Structure 1
Amino acid sequence: MKTAIKTRTLTSVLLTFMITLTACSGSTSSQTGTGSQAGTKDANGIVTLRVLVNETGTNWNTYPDSEIAKELADKIGVKIEYVEADANKMNVLLAGGDLPDIVRADPNQYGKQLIDGNLIIPMDDLMDKYGQDIEQTIPTVVDYSRTNWSEGQNKLYFLPPQIQADPSPVYPNVTIGPTMRWDYYKEVGTPAINSTDDLLNVLQQISTKHPTTDEGKKIYGVSMWQDWGLWPYIIPFTWITQQTASGGSDLMAKPLGENRLLNVLTDDTSNYWVAMDFYNKAYRMGLLDPDALTMKNNDYMAKATAGQFILGPATWAMGDFNAKYAKDNKGYMVLPIGKQAWSGGVRPIGWSDKSYAISKSSKYPEKAMEFLNYIHSYEGARTMYSGIKGKDWTVENGKPQLNKDTIAAKVNGGDAWERTGIALDQNLIGLGGSVIDPSNDTPVNLFSTEEAMAQSSTTLEKDFSKHYGATYPGEVFSKLVQEGKLTDENTPLKSLTQDEIVKQNTVVLPVLTDDLLKLETQLKELAARTAATMILSKTDEDFAANKQKAIDSFKQAGADKLTQYISTEYAKALQNAGVK
């Protein structure tokens, strides 16, 4: 039985998440609780907390009166309102210093600016009175935050969401990977896809059959958005490269099962170059959305919801299409193709890039702390994942059980389901869904058991699962991993002893120096500009010439310097940990 996040496993994802602290600092707020951006209190004493999120395209504000929102108000006297911000808006708000009550941001990127600029407050004193559940559920994350995210002050400034120290005992439904209209894929006979060229050929077959939506809108084979940095070029192609971002910089990648790092810009086997080749071929085949190189996430999501794409990078990236049509056996599923399934793995320090901090501008820091405590509690996490006790689930023979009506509502989907607010935005929830509540030895997300996943599968998910001889989508991938036909993050660990796994988990890299951070930023900006030239190449010869020119420009800009530093430090960390 696990009552808290384990210290030993806490280090297992540091290699991925250790990104440098930014050197810039913001202006200060004159005194606590004077911000015009901060929340308000209504006549009933309910406090609306405004949360600055460094992302766009969320749907939390769409349902301000959801059942979960009302439960938050009833339970802790709080309502939540998102303030969405892309990178530019985020920087403007931080520079101004007048912030919403809670800031959700990467402490490695914004920590120095927020702390040195006196824009956020330490939570330590508030924790004593309002953070008892946090101390119980994630004590080692609290310790880690004080040590690593406080600019040397050893104070608690940041709390990440989605903390999950141990792997799920049940294989989850995969959400990131080649995400295709399943009904279209079945229509063309579910042909084998073992390469990106195979994938493009399938997109072409489908595109010929489905040039427009039922409403007459143009359907494109593939698209992307441009306000998440290099995300569309680095993340979606793990299924074929078996590489994940790693090494203290998101320009470095680690091949699965290998103790080496590669620079995604200068190594032509990387995700970045696989993406360049794929999107260029899609462009020349007429499959690429012409807005792909300028579109923002909000616009992408609108097109996805309208069914204008055949392929996407993740189920959550396809807007509300599945919510509307999955009951009619129409929608998007991650295909079990290529080499690797991205199952999510463990997250001992959660999604650190979305960590919560309490703004000095907040007029209600105590309420902000109560909210953070609630979402990191077993009770709060279960409510947000599974619904309200007595209404959406009940306790039978000492075990929480979802009600049939709740399962049916999820299966039917659509606006009615989203209006419940259940698991509406998992970025918001403090604990991972497979965290075990020790009071009843069940996961906080009641939908994450094998029985619940089978029962709550939509018509679309059932059809997908049946095609591959499984009862729910996660089982499709689980069987293929067990048969050795696919790998996942845990595959390399199977050949290691427990002692070797422990050693692997102690490999920690230092953050980048300020100079290297600036260099990394410059390289990412150069890579984003280069992408358009690569993708719009007219011929194979043009692409090859542009590719060599781009790699030369990356090296001239200092890419090898970044690679040498991180690779050297990685080798030292391996040696210090006793990893061969």
Structure 2
Amino acid sequence: MSRNRKVVKRSMVASMTGLFLVSAAMTGCSNGNANTTATDEPSGTGTNAGASQTAGAIDHSKPLTITVFDNAANYQGEQTGWYGKLLKDKFNITLNILAPQVAGDQLYKTRTAAGDLGDLLIVDNSQLEELIPAGLVMDMTDKIKNTKYLSQYVDKHFKPFNAGFDKANPEGKIYGLPTFEADTSPTTFSEEMPYSSPILPWNYYKGVGAPKLNNLDDLLKVLKQMHEKYPKSPDGKPIVPITLWKDWDGGSMENVRWLSNWYGFEQPDGTTTIQLNAKGDIVPLIDDNSMYKKILQFYFNANQMGLVDPDSPTQDWNKVSEKLTNNQVLLTWYSWERGFYNSIERGKNGDGIVGVPIADTHLIQSSDAYYGNGMVFAIGAKAKDPDRIMEFMDWLCSPEGLRYYTNGFEGFNYEKTEDGKSKLTEVGQSAFQKNTPVPDEYGGGGYQDGQSKINSMIMSDFVVDPDTGEFYNSTYWKSTIEANKTALTTDWQSTYNAENPTDYYLKNKMIDVVPNINTSLGADSSDIKNERSQISDYVKNTSWKIVFAKNQAEFDQLWTKMQKDVEGLGWKDVLAADTVKAQKIVKMRADALANK
């Protein structure tokens, strides 16, 4: 998998709350230990907007369109809506987003071949390693010294990360700023729900007796029972037990990749042929005992039982997100998917989607992304006005920039409390789900429609806001925790005797938290790159055929054929390369644990 989809997708549900809701996973930076508040931030266009730079050094009188090449984006085109107006008013800039997830991966090849990827780049670590020697990214070492917020992270975060590109960057210059960095510790997992675990609608699950789930077969049985009892949503829309989508597929079938985590195996970013567990065991994807095959079998069995959405082979993520918003899907597995439906108001009525553990699972979960999470912000070598781009990135790392990005507008989405902390307003509790109209003064349009389409930040929302002393992530605000003491919350807690899913998995020794490693795993040679591309295309296409095979005999035939065919595509070469990458991860995790 060449792209870190975890970062890309969990960020879809920023600025929401509700039971076990991972709010504001679209993350940004804070000012670290500085005591500067939002009142010190720039406002309006003109030289004032450059307050984080030398006063008067940046001219904002001319409008600037920044072309953003963005692997994290699920949207292509001009940033409009309230966030677009905010940036226009503050910096006189407009973002024009180029999204490979929309336009296709060929976009990267085309633009790099032309020698100009864009002005602001959000690319994979492996791509940065290619772009540095190609001269397509700018050295930010000197420019970052003049920033107000970014400069605080140079020694702690940026220098160590860039030093990892030792072959492409022997002088240790700063070319990329890692995304989604936490300010906790390298071995801390702060979230109240693991990234990938079984999630079901609580009222429907209880409606069929809430039977204990011992294994995946039990999960399929309860999905069938739920679907038979609840075939349609309250507003008459058809419910599907499981829905899948293709447009996130990278080195393999993405929907298979993340369910493998339930049984302790992950597919490291940048690899195509392997899965890895917490002990450091490396298992080829096409091994008959691989977790990849186990999950393919699960989806196949589900389809044989009529439980897989027939739209799955043709729909894209946008269609899936509509179904999630309408509560038309019974099984979800990404923690952030709860945000499309959950709300405090629904929670008061015992309604919402929640974690439902399966007894034989043993999850693997990466710790907080202290060192970043697979992508970087960079400035293109031919960028128009790089000083203004740097200024924009610096503002993203300010308290004001982060508050807007993660929680919207004070007075609309949230308000200050008497004790100096923050509290979501009634509007803010469901602005994303309802796509609540935004007042004209903020830019109008729907709130969800107008959110930042960059879909990535440099530091995560697991950083403390200097004004409130709490994470920027509103799920962990004192006020949100109090508000979330709903019928849904208390019912779940009494059922599982735990505060939240993470607490449950830890108490029952059903999870391995591994240090989150963010480094360059080495660029592929041209031969390996070509072989990897052929193998990944073949594996993901065949995986879809396997899921929708007409019977078990065809499943087995397709699986066996895939095992044989990939050998002729250079499987052994790519497997060897991926094994080296995995061994580097294993060593770095061991070092992190030894030094924690």
SS, match of residue 242 in structure 2: coil
Cα separation, partners in 2 of 1:321 and 1:388, compared to 1, 3 Å: closer
Match of 1:500 in 2: none
- Confirm or deny: 8 A CA contact 1:54 1:105 kept in the other structure: yes
Query: Displacement, 1:108?
Result: 0.5
Quick one: which of 140, 163, 183 aligns to 1:147?
163
| Aligned pair partner of 2:139 in 122, 129, 132 | 122
Pairing 1:538–2:550 present: yes
1:209 maps to a residue whose letter is K
Q: 1:450 to 1:121 in 2, by over 3 A?
A: closer
| Match status 1:484 vs 2:508 | yes
Distance in 2, matches of 1:121 and 1:310, equals: 46
Separation in 2, partners of 1:506, 1:156 = 15
Query: Offset at 1:423?
Result: 8.3
Secondary structure of the corresponding residue to residue 281 of structure 1 = helix
- Residue by residue, what CA displacement relative to the aligned partner does 1:34-84 show, whole Å, maximum 9, x if unpaired? xxxxxxx99965645342322554599786215xx5555555554545333
Is the Cα contact below 8 Å between 1:168 and 1:434 reproduced in 2? no
CA gap of 1:450–1:462, structure 2 versus 1, over 3 A, is: same
Instruction: Extract unaligned runs of 5+ from structure 2.
Output: 1-29, 34-57, 439-445
Query: How far apart, in 2, do the equivalents of 1:546 and 1:210 lie?
Result: 34
Structure 1 residue aligned with 2:224, among 204, 207, 212?
Answer: 204
1:293-304 alignment, distance < 5 Å: 293-304=313-324
- Find 2:97's aligned residue among 72, 76, 82: 82
Note closer, same or farther for the CA distance 1:220–1:532 as it changes in structure 2 (3 Å cut).
Answer: same
User: How big is the shift at 1:158?
Assistant: 1.7
Give SS of 2:175's match.
coil
8 Å contact 2:63–2:92 — kept in the other structure?
yes
* Gaps in structure 1 of 5+ consecutive residues: 6-40, 494-503
Work out whether 1:435 is the aligned partner of 2:463: yes
Distance change >3 Å, CA 513–CA 348, structure 1 → 2: farther
The code of the aligned residue for 2:489 comes to S
Distance 2:479 2:565 in 1: 52
- Whether the 8 Å CA contact 1:385–1:444 is kept in 2: the answer is no
Correspondence for 2:401: 380
Whichever residue aligns with residue 212 of structure 2, its letter is A
Whole-angstrom distance in 2 between the partners of 1:424 and 1:488? 33
- Rounded to whole Å, the distance in 2 between the matches of 1:532 and 1:467 is 38
Residue 370 of structure 1 deviates from its aligned partner by 0.9
Q: 2:392 aligns with which of 355, 371, 379?
A: 371
The offset of 1:482, in angstroms, is 3.9
Distance 1:73 1:3, change over 3 A: closer
2:282 corresponds in structure 1 to: 261
Q: Which residue in the other structure is 2:15 paired with?
A: none
Q: Is the 8 A contact 2:257 2:266 kept in 1?
A: yes
Could you tell me which of 468, 473, 497 is aligned with 2:492?
A: 468
Report the Cα distance in structure 2 between the residues aligned to 1:309 and 1:215, rounded to whole angstroms.
14
Deviation at 1:369, TM superposition (A): 0.5
Which moved further from structure 2: 506-515 or 189-198? 506-515
1:517 equivalent in alignment to 2:526: no
Distance 1:309 1:169 in 2: 28
| Code of the aligned partner of 2:97 | Y
Preserved contact between residue 170 and residue 449 of structure 1 (Cα < 8 Å): no
Q: Deviations over 1:349-405 (max 9, x none)?
A: 32223x2222345323212111111223455334433455688454866xx5004xx
CA drift of 1:467 comes to 2.0
Paired residue secondary structure (1:409): coil
Change (3 A) 1:155 1:109: same
CA distance in 2, matches of 1:64, 1:121: 30
Q: What is the match of residue 133 of structure 1? A: 149
Write the deviation string for residues 163-200 of structure 1: whole angstroms up to 9, x where unpaired. Answer: 01525585434453333333322222222223222111
Name the residue aligned to 1:107: 125
CA displacement, residues 240-269 of structure 1 (integer Å, 9 cap, x when unaligned): 31112238625322223x122112222533
> By how many angstroms is 1:126 displaced?
2.3
Instruction: Tell me if structure 1 keeps the 8 A contact 2:139–2:175.
Output: yes
Secondary structure at the counterpart of residue 358 of structure 2: coil
Deviation at 1:215, TM superposition (A): 5.3
Q: 1:263 to 1:536 in 2, by over 3 A?
A: same
**Deviation (angstroms), 1:287:** 1.4
1:408 aligns with 2:408: no
Report the equivalent of 1:276: 296
Query: Structure 1 stretch 218-227 or stretch 462-471: which is displaced more?
Result: 462-471
- How much does 1:227 deviate? 1.8
Partner of 1:49: 66
Change over 3 Å in CA distance of 1:446–1:293 after alignment to 2: closer
Q: Does 1:189 align with 2:213?
A: no
Q: Aligned-residue CA RMSD in angstroms?
A: 4.3
CA drift of 1:344 comes to 5.1
Alpha-carbon deviations, 1:108-142, whole Å to 9, x = none? 03541x4455443222332233x331121353332
The residue number in structure 2 matching 1:501 is none
1:512-561 Cα deviation digits (max 9, x unpaired): 44433333222211101211331122222332333233223334434344
Code of the residue aligned with 1:191 in structure 2: it is: P
Structure-1 separation of matches of 2:418 and 2:165: 42
Which SS does the other structure have where 1:523 is aligned? helix
Q: Distance in 2 between matches of 1:376 and 1:367?
A: 14
Matching of residues 285-296 of structure 1 within 5 Å: 285-296=305-316
* Alignment-derived partner of residue 27 in structure 2: none
Give, in whole Å, the separation in 1 of the partners of 2:188 and 2:461. 9
Fraction of identical pairs, as percent: 21
Q: Would the aligned equivalents of 2:126 and 2:522 in 1 still touch at CA under 8 Å?
A: no
| Structure 2 residue 554 is matched with structure 1 residue 554 | no
Q: Distance in 2 between matches of 1:390 and 1:324?
A: 19
1:514 and 1:88, CA in 2 relative to 1: closer, same or farther beyond 3 A?
Answer: closer
Which residue is 2:82 aligned to?
Answer: 65
Q: Secondary structure, in 3 states, of the residue corresponding to 2:177?
A: coil
**Is 1:449 the equivalent of 2:465?**
no
Which one has more relative contact order, counting CA pairs under 8 Å at least 6 apart? 2
In structure 2, C-alpha distance between the alignment counterparts of 1:428 and 1:575, rounded to whole Å: 28
CA contact (8 A) 2:126 2:521 kept: no
Quote the Cα distance in structure 1 between the aligned partners of 2:331 and 2:228.
Answer: 14
DSSP 3-state at the match of 1:51: strand
Match of 1:237 in 2: 259
Residue of 308, 314, 333 corresponding to 2:354: 333
Q: Determine helix, strand or coil for the equivalent of 2:199.
A: strand
Deviating more after overlay: 143-152 vs 200-209: 143-152
The residue aligned with 1:23 is none
Per the alignment, do residues 90 and 426 of structure 1 end up closer, same or farther by CA in structure 2, a change over 3 Å counting?
closer
Q: Is the 8 A contact 2:373 2:518 kept in 1?
A: no
Corresponding residue to 1:246 among 268, 271, 274: 268
For residues 416-468 of structure 1, what are the alpha-carbon distances to aligned partners after superposition, in whole Å with 9 as ceiling and x for unaligned? 3985679867943321122235x5683441524362441353xxx83442222
| 1:518 partner amino acid | N
* Contact kept in structure 2, 1:434 and 1:445, CA below 8 Å: yes
Q: How many residue pairs end up in the alignment? A: 517
Deviation per CA, 1:268-315, whole angstroms, max 9, x where unpaired?
A: 332x21221012112211111223223322233234334432223325
Residue 220 of structure 2 aligns to a residue whose secondary structure is helix
- Please state if 1:180 is matched with 2:204: no
SS in 1 for 2:163: helix
Decide whether the 8 Å contact of 1:224 with 1:232 is kept in 2: no
